[in-house]
Structure 1
């Protein structure tokens, strides 16, 4: 029975290692899809922002004054358009800041930068399809996935073995 348990434990460790390595290697592919979708959303927000800027300029106003005047107007119709303009302005600023953060992040910081700048709407629109990335960056993430698998299976193994010593050759 002990031999069977060791065999199954070794197989499950290898399966976990492969699954986590492949999953981790997907990050650069997802990051690219997310970034491309964000770029499209940012371009649309910028187009709407430029419209606001042009309309404000024709009235010799800054965009903030233009929006504020709409928001503070006694007419409910102007207040409603002010809310739309404010949303457009905030979306443009938010997407521009997100785009800059993602573009300037080095490869090893990208997971954290993406987590800080994650937008569920961008994620939903990204239409991510897993791929087999053959880049150095994907290889580094795959290695990180292997290390994570090793750590997790070691911890699980310790828990099931009651804290006993781990065989040195069980990961091979």
Structure 2
């Protein structure tokens, strides 16, 4: 099973439009969002892009938190505040935004998870810590680096594909 990993979308509608085009003809409908959606309407864009299941966390810039929770809940998606941990096909995953800069590494070093996902820095990062894969998909919005990035995680093979989108 493959999972889309994104973070720091920051209301970039062009990203969601291109993501929807990229997802066409791909068997990829589960996603993880590591925070900084910004506005609740971006949740609708995730659905329009073809995402059927979304696991997310709040970021330090997310506004209208109650409506973000409602948008997730209306779609039976799961949004948490600081840490969202769950299991998919036997793979234990933790997601945090990364505002508390040491938390992603602490979660990875705990050995409790197979995968730890974080965002916040707007820079890609991929590292094995023991048997745990620690990853940051970079910034989907492309505002700071000029490059829109995200990752696709194959949880059966524990392999990561890094993707760049021209916006």
**What band does the TM-score fall into relative to the shorter chain?**
under 0.3
Structure having the larger proportion of residues in strand: 2
Given the two structures, how large is their TM-score scaled by the length of structure 1? 0.23
Bigger RCO (CA 8 Å, 6+ sep) = 1
**Which structure shows the higher helix fraction?**
1
Q: TM-score, normalised by structure 2?
A: 0.23
- Structure having the higher Rg: 1
